[in-house]
Structure 1
Amino acid sequence: MRTITRFLRRFLILLIVFVMGVAGTAFFMNNETTDDRSDMNNPTLPEVMVDFNGTLANRMYGYRQPMEADFVRDSVTPLDTTKKLTIAVNPYEEKIKSLSYEVRTSDGTKIVENRKVKSLDSSGSDGYLRAQIEISSGLLMNQEYSLQISLDTSDGEAYYYTRVVSRSSTNTEDYVKFASSFAQMCMDKNSADGLAAYLESTESSSTNFTAVTIQSPLSTISWGNLSPQISKKGIPVIKEINETTASISLKYEIKAANENGGAEYYNVTDFYRLRYTDTRIMLLDFQRSADQVFDPQQTVITDDGLLLGVRDKNVTMLSNEDGSVTAFTQEGALWTYAPDTGKFVDIFDFRRKSNGDFRDSRIEHDIKLLGINDSGDLDFMVYGYMNRGTYEGYCGVGIYHYDHDQNVVEERVFIPTSESFEFLKADLGTLSYVNKDNQLFLLLAGKLYQINIDESSYDVLADNIDGNQFAVSATNAHAAWRISDGDQAGQVKFIDFDTLETRNDTPDAGQSLRVLGFMNEDVVYGIVLDGDSLTDENGHTTDGITLIRIEGFDGTVKKEYHQDGYYITDVTVGSTLMQFNLSEKTGSSYTVKNKDNIMNNQAAAAKVVSAEQSSTTRQGVIVKLAFDNRPETDEPLILTAKMKNTGEKTVQLDVDKSQISNIYYVYAKGGLDSTWTDPAQAILHADSLTGVVLNRAQQYVWERGNMKTQLTLNTEDVPEIIRSGSWDKDVLQQGLGDSGTVIDLTGCSLENVLYEISAQRAVIAKTGADSSVVIVGYDQYNTWLLDPATGEVSPYGMNDSTALFQAAGNVFISYLDNQK
């Protein structure tokens, strides 16, 4: 009996051990298979550069899908008469099987040449692979083309982009070396003394490393008391280049020691505008911005608040209602901070903590904060180039949710695009909003999209939207636009993105409506009576508004504005102030008689945290976050959020930009500055920034500083319809047909339009009510004018020409040859 009892006891113990073992193993295996949190994957894509006789320039980052050639313009690569380029590839860990290239017209519609290079030279001491390509096709001088370089890698195809342009005597290598040398000399006070002759320094009592210019003191340009060293050397990127000038951008990283010996890192961007002369390179413009990488391991918590360091004062931040958690972005990273506990969470950051390179630290993306709740859960959007992770090498829009309790980030949806960050940023600048039902709203290429995040699907709520007649509220929760076609054409539609409720305002008979903007969540629109939209003799239309109305979404009229005897023109609507002119009719145009404004009297919501600036001896001007209450602790607790692996959830939008033609891009200071529908206004803006203007097809419309000293066109080469001297744009366009596109340059100066002559394009200039001439040449002292009636060409003094054209209203019309 005792033996049986002992046996049963032993059997039960073994059974329990077995069951517990099985359960434990199952539990362990279950945890192994269901723990779906991980760190972001490291970057894998190689880098591509152009080698100018041993000097590297134009670093290109890889895309995992082909991009639209006319929406990628990160660099310009000049070609000399040989049309040969040496391409350098930093493979990192990737195996490169082959390289191929494709040359397209600048609008991307036509392939000019494509070839494959099977063998790459690996004999260089820097570990880079090199290939020489020779473009055999006849490229037009001074015309940009898109160059796509494709690498066949062990992880699939990767695509790289630059613009190539055939230009003579560009002195490329000297320009690139100057930029690199200038940045390096600034690191040493003695070497920096040699830079004084290039600068236009003036005295200044403050040091702000985020806004350094050619007028800054030499002591500031050489980094004041910061004493940094370059920790990641940059490679110059050519933004513009011609026979006389070049614009170079240089991005690099510096490292400095703080008061406690801790390491501070700064991302620096230098911009150089240079001119080559027989004796030396002249520095025409210089700008620098330095932005500190946030690191809570340094001393950042003070009695005054949270020190963010050297950066722009406009901080993207969002706090929950009681201020217990504040989210903010800095240098491409997203952080949260809890003042009561001193807890920091690094929620999203492409930059690696160690062993990083420019592939992960590159900032070609932005972060928009969408909402934060009481517990610290956060919704946010990342848009632009994805440096690493699941969508490495894609440009697009990602919607994310951060769970505070689990310390995990979940990707809700990703929307890939085929345009680079600077174009995507311009598009998303109009509208991007996520409601509580996880629906994302975007306006792209004239279409209003509703992306259903949970279902990975989308709907088009409206199309054919005129961007000039579309406006969104301060929170992006409401929008309004004038319907341009269909049975409801002319009506203004309002939408609430939280409820998806809509309503329309219909103009009364004899009236039309103009969407002007929003003040807070209230729409502002104008009423124009029939006959009050005046088109002057130059074809420019101005709306004379009779009444401005401010209206809530429910239709409640908040305010109306009207002035007897006046028309309201030139309206600009801001968040706190609306400004406009009061004008009278003068024939076919309006004459400004007075100015007025409407103030937004709504009290601003109280902020629990604000951004403030202060000045220090070592870092100059710095930024801090000031809280209502003093932080409870100065000891930081630093966490890094994990990424939740949820599989790929992508939505591919059908965005067609081919129908957008009347667009002009202003590039200045190293990037895309703005877009315009009026080429004359684009030129005037570019002139003020020493920039360039390109059209939708990425053709040069105008360049600052690239004009020959004298030139006279062969009149037989000027299209016959242009020689007619007509300023009727419809007649001119009909005469040009498919060979060219008319551009109205009315409002530009004579000096501005002489660029068109230099670019081999004649300009029609109005000289009186019923008379015009065609400018076909110029020199230092004269313009050369063609008389449309006789066909004779004669000189006319430059000062007299300026006065003649000004008296006639500076009405100029030219054209662009369409790409073939």
Structure 2
Amino acid sequence: MKLQFYKKGIPTKIIKRIAILFVVFVASLIFFEIITNVSEVVEVSSQASPTLPIVRVNYLNDASTELHGYVSEMDPAYMRDAIIPLDSERNISLSIDVGDYPVDGLSYEIRSLDTQRNISKNALKYKNKKGTLTASFQAENLIDANEEYLLVITVTSKSNKIYYYTRIMQPEGCNEEEILDFAQYFHNTALSEDAADLATYIEPKPSMANQDLSHVTINSNLSQVSYGTFKATQAGDTNVSITDISTNYISLTLDYTLNLDNNGKNEYYTCSEDYRIRYTADRIYLLSYDRTMNQILDENSISIKDNLVNIGITDADVQYLSNETGTIVSFVQNGSLYQYNQNDRQVKEIFSFVDNPADIRSTYNQHQVLILNIDESGTMDYVVYGYMNAGPHEGFCGINLYHYDAINNISTEQIFIPSTSSFQILNANFSDLLYETADNEFYIMVNGTLLYMNLNDLTTKELLTGLDDRQYASSGSRRYLAWMDKATISEQIHVMDLETGNNFDITAESGQLLRPLAFMDEDLIYGTLYEKDITTDGAGATIYPMYSLTISDITSGTERPRKTYSKNGYYITDVSIQSYSIYLDRIQFDADGNILQADQGNIKNSAGEQNKAVPITTDIDDVKQQVVILNMTPLEEGEKLGKIKYEVTDLVLADENHSISVASATSSTQYFVYAGSKVKLATDNLIDAIAMADEEMGIVLDNEPKYIWKRGRKAYQTSISPITIGSSDFEASGSARALSAMLVHEGENVQVHTLLENGETPISILSKTLKDYSILDLTGATLSEVLYYVSNGTPVYAYTGEDTAVLIIGYDSTSIIYFDPIKGANAKMSMTEATDYFASFGNVFVSYIK
């Protein structure tokens, strides 16, 4: 019998086939890798160092203001970083750090602040000594004392031009030198070993957080003002920016960098001090002091222990996003973007302009980073907007969209949108609607225009145009947009899901109207009113009193109301949201139909505050005092953190085709609130602007620009005269007589009573008659705030009931002077009594700017 043997394992033929298939598979991988690399060659680079020269304008003996260059012409009306005070001879001295940068020419131009009038334009001779250019010139005698003018310095390099913007003024009676000396004394003394002398100037309040060096004010204690246990030294010079000059006060900002030796580790901190100072013959008054400090993070200065990430001295309101498990967090600090991956034990510097902390071009803080989204791996989209300190867009102001791939650790530039506005205007106006879809589609709201961009083929399209700020709202994720077709109130609210492109409408019931107000996370907040309740106030402005507020979930493609708020006798005019609380601006009506301001309402939602995978807390450090902590997911029991790696992410920069100019403008008047050199608010609501400026001790400008309101006013104002009623309105109502006297004061005599009888309002009459003036509806402002206009020699119309009004024409520390149009004579009222009296009629005021 023949025996047959079988070999154990896989047959030889099968093995040969597997080997052949494996070789083919490997060859295919290599082939496709080669093809992919050939078709998608990308140039990986790191962030470049700054190259543009810095222009220093020298004045008042030892002060200098640094100007940073723009490679394209900006809208000069909004370039308001500083005012250079000129001496009696109007001399201007420049020094320019050019290094190896090739310079072919230097020139200057002086224009009126509204840019409509050219004062002079001349080339400049200069000397070049070891990379520093020096030049000086005398401003023409065409400028008026105490008047602001625009100065543009232009540096020519081959065929390129670099523009530097500032303002100049020849002050008289402003005591700018004494005030600057005091600010520098205060600054130096705070950094010295003995700062006891500063106690005279500060106003400590027990309620202030007195171990927080990230934000120090005039109400902080002396230890905090003098840096407490934080013993650092200043690195480099102090940059001085005088931001507002008047005979009442001067505002200025000091910027500098501090260097701390922290147990052998070299750490850097950027600091900015805002001062508002008044000089009198008797003494100097520190009206306001506000200092911010932010740590520059690097490999040496970030500290991680267990699951706690210590990011040092910075504002505790950190802008950050984390993955759902709390193991990866991306956060913004001091204009740079970082990510910590607890799983990989790695800190990544995703984006930063800081190349050298001692280089003022690297640390120039006129930009911001906004994180748009993040996934579980840490991949995210983010935006860098403002002044570009370095790189291919150096010297531009604009919006740069990036995609960060966490797997390959690369940031790719997707699109750049240049802007002619300064960072401060761009930041204040920056859209709360930027969204990138999974299909590489990008949405952004620019000046009331919703723009769609396909990032694959770079096509753009305007989806909505002409929207005012109060006409739309976007959700917390920016994925959902709610808007109405009309500017004030509408029968329908449209809702769009930008990710899917799907839309639906919320429609009012018969006789009712709607208005989108805001979002709380993804929940839409809108108001409802009866059409019959629409009314006008004593100045003629239309009031839209909403009787109810609805909070609705709109993420399912339809409306699902969560909560409805209403209170009998109260009407909502607007809302604001802070820390998951909805604040309601409310009014009531008295028996005569007068509108009265009511107490602010409040609706709190604590659910959102609790839904954070990485909570932010603070701790006390022996050297730095209060520090900010990111609390990651706790480590497993017995798990050790080990060594933390620090890595700088590579960049893939886009070509020139990925720069897209957007031409879009709004026709409505906007108001900008400046506190120091910073724009705190951009709004179309004048009363909101004045309230913010009052709170921040700032100023309000419109978009021409004109000064609309200042926190400072004269201590007293004698009666504005003459105040005379027009001949045709002697027998008219009190309201008509007051308006008539207001117009006669400006040289206009019209039949006001006839216009009122024909349906005109105080605002419409003033607007049509005083065509070269800006008419200001100040309804809702306080008496103290409207006295600013009286201080400037302009009467204020004050509503005192149906068909009656008075003109406020003067004041002192305890009382106001008003013109009674019925009696045709001036009268006095105490400040306290007047405040309550006008408030009882809704604080309805009207004035104007010449």
TM-score by length of 1: 0.86
- Trace 1:638-787 onto structure 2 (pairs within 5 A): 638-657=646-665, 659-661=667-669, 663-707=670-714, 709-711=716-718, 713=720, 715=722, 718-721=745-748, 728-737=762-771, 739-767=772-800, 769-778=802-811, 785=818
1:730 is displaced (CA, Å) by: 0.3
Residue range with higher mean Cα deviation, 577-586 or 728-737? 577-586
1:484-507: CA deviations, max 9, x gaps? 289x97432111110111223343
**Cross-structure match for 2:733:** none
Residues 428-459 of structure 1: CA deviation (Å, up to 9, x unaligned): 24212211122222212111111222223321
Aligned mates of 1:577, 1:804 — CA distance in 2: 32
Deviation at 1:594, TM superposition (A): 8.7
For residues 564 and 334 of structure 1, what CA distance do their matches in structure 2 show? Answer: 45
Letter in 1 for 2:689: A
Deviates more, 1:511-520 or 1:573-582: 573-582
The corresponding residue for 1:552 is 554
Bigger Cα displacement from structure 2, 663-672 vs 83-92: 83-92
Asked if 2 retains the 8 angstrom alpha-carbon contact of 1:365 and 1:383, the reply is: yes
Inter-CA distance 480–178: structure 2 relative to 1 (3 Å threshold)? same
State the shift of 1:341 in Å: 3.2
Q: Give the superposition deviation at 1:783.
A: 5.4
How far residue 743 of structure 1 moved from its aligned partner, in angstroms, is 0.9
Look up the match of 1:172.
Answer: 176
More displaced stretch, 588-597 vs 674-683: 588-597
Secondary structure at 1:761 match in 2? coil
Change (3 A) 1:560 1:806: closer
| Residue matched to 1:480 | 482
Aligned-residue offset at 1:480 = 0.2
Please, which of 229, 234, 237 is the counterpart of residue 225 of structure 1? 229
Give the 5 Å matches for 1:525-544: 525-544=526-545
Q: How much does 1:121 deviate?
A: 4.5
The superposition leaves residues 581-614 of structure 1 with CA deviations (integer Å, 9 ceiling, x where unpaired) of 7876545455688986655486777544222111
Aligned 8 A contact 2:347 2:644 in 1: yes
2:630 aligned with 1:615 = no
Tell whether the 8 Å contact from 1:542 to 1:569 is kept in structure 2 after alignment. Answer: no
Shift of 1:82: 4.7
| Within-5 A mapping of 1:158-557 | 158-190=162-194, 192-201=195-204, 206-258=210-262, 260-298=263-301, 300-353=303-356, 356-484=358-486, 490-549=491-550, 550-553=552-555, 554-557=557-560
Deviation at 1:276, TM superposition (A): 1.5
Equivalent pair of 1:518/1:573 in contact (CA under 8 Å): no
What amino acid does structure 2 have at the position aligned with 1:609?
V
97, 103, 107: which one aligns with 1:100 = 107
Letter in 2 for 1:614: D
What is the count of residue pairs matched by the alignment? 778
- Indicate if the aligned counterparts of 1:715 and 1:776 stay in contact, CA closer than 8 A: no
Amino acid at match of 2:437: N
2:596–2:839 CA contact under 8 A, matched in 1:
no
Q: Contact 2:384–2:399 (CA<8 Å) still a contact in 1?
A: yes
Closer/same/farther in 2, CA of residues 783 and 200 from structure 1, 3 Å limit: closer
Pick the aligned partner of 2:644 from 636, 643, 646. 636
| 2:62 corresponding residue in structure 1 | 55
Residue 454 of structure 1 aligns to a residue whose secondary structure is: coil
Shift of 1:360: 1.0
What is the rounded CA distance, in whole Å, between the counterparts of 2:642 and 2:791 in structure 1?
Answer: 64
> How many angstroms does 1:310 deviate by?
1.0
Shift of 1:745: 2.4
Asked if the contact 2:673–2:682 (Cα under 8 Å) also holds between the matched residues in 1, the reply is: yes
Unaligned runs of 5+ in 2: 1-33, 724-743, 754-760
CA contact (8 A) 1:91 1:129 kept: no
Partners of 1:744 and 1:71 in 2: CA distance: 24
1:47-83 Cα offsets, whole Å, 9 max, x none, are 2232214333332211111111233322233456654
Q: What amino acid does structure 2 have at the position aligned with 1:262?
A: K
The 1:814/1:606 distance shift into structure 2, 3 A limit, reads closer
C-alpha displacement of 1:417:
0.7
Question: In the alignment, does 2:97 pair up with 1:70?
Answer: no
Q: What's the % identity of the aligned pairs?
A: 28
Distance 1:428 1:277, change over 3 A: same
2: distance between equivalents of 1:763 and 1:83?
37
* 1:86 maps to 2:90: no
Q: Secondary structure of the residue that 2:615 maps to in structure 1?
A: strand
Structure 2: which amino acid aligns with 1:684?
A
Cα offset for 1:536?
A: 2.2
Q: What CA deviation, in whole Å up to 9, does each residue of 1:314-339 have, x standing for no partner?
A: 22222334444322221111122222
Deviations 1:383-421, CA, capped at 9 Å, x for gaps: 111000000011111111223344332211101111111
Cα offset for 1:733?
1.0
How many Å separate the matches in 2 of 1:588 and 1:148? Answer: 54
Moved more, 723-732 or 170-179: 723-732
The amino acid of 1:364's aligned partner reads Q
Over 3 Å counting, the alpha-carbon distance change for 1:798 and 1:568 in structure 2 is closer
Q: Of 622, 625, 634, which aligns to 2:630?
A: 625
Which SS does the other structure have where 1:185 is aligned? helix
Contact 2:271 2:293 in 1 (8 A): yes
242-251 or 560-569, which deviates more? 560-569
Indicate the SS of the match to 2:691: helix
Distance 1:624 1:562 in 2: 37
Q: Any conservation in 2 of the 1:723–1:788 contact (CA below 8 Å)?
A: no
For 2:644, the aligned partner's letter is: P
C-alpha distance in structure 2 between counterparts of 1:592 and 1:137, whole Å: 48
Measured in 1, the distance between the counterparts of 2:774 and 2:50 equals: 44
Q: Please give the alpha-carbon distance, in whole angstroms, between the structure 1 residues aligned to 2:232 and 2:621.
A: 16
Distance across 1 between alignment mates of 2:720 and 2:676? 32
Aligned 8 A contact 2:55 2:95 in 1: yes
Match of 2:846 among 789, 813, 817: 813
Unaligned segments of structure 1, at least 5 residues: 1-26
SS in 1 for 2:104: strand
Contact 1:102 1:111 in 2 (8 A): no
Cα 1:172/1:511, change in 2 over 3 Å = same
Give the secondary-structure state (helix, strand or coil) at the position aligned to 2:411. strand
Q: Is the 8 A contact 1:537 1:588 kept in 2?
A: no
Cα distance change, pair 522–216 in 1 and its aligned pair in 2 (3 A): closer
* Alpha carbons 1:611, 1:625 under 8 Å: kept: yes
Q: Assess if the C-alpha contact under 8 Å between 1:55 and 1:177 holds in 2.
A: no
Could you tell me how far apart the structure 2 residues matched to 1:364 and 1:746 are? 35
What secondary structure, in the 3-state scheme, does the structure 2 residue paired with 1:207 have?
A: coil
Counterpart code for 1:70: A
Cα RMSD, aligned residues only: 3.4
> Deviation of residue 779 (structure 1)?
5.5
| Matching residue of 2:731 | none
Match of 1:137 among 125, 142, 148: 142
Q: Residue 70 of structure 1: SS of its match in structure 2?
A: helix
Q: Distance in 1 between matches of 2:606 and 2:641?
A: 39
Q: 1:232-284 CA distances to partner (integer Å, 9 max, x unpaired)? A: 322111121211211111111111122x3211111111111111122543322
Tell me: CA distance 1:275–1:581, structure 2 relative to 1, closer, same or farther (3 Å).
Answer: closer
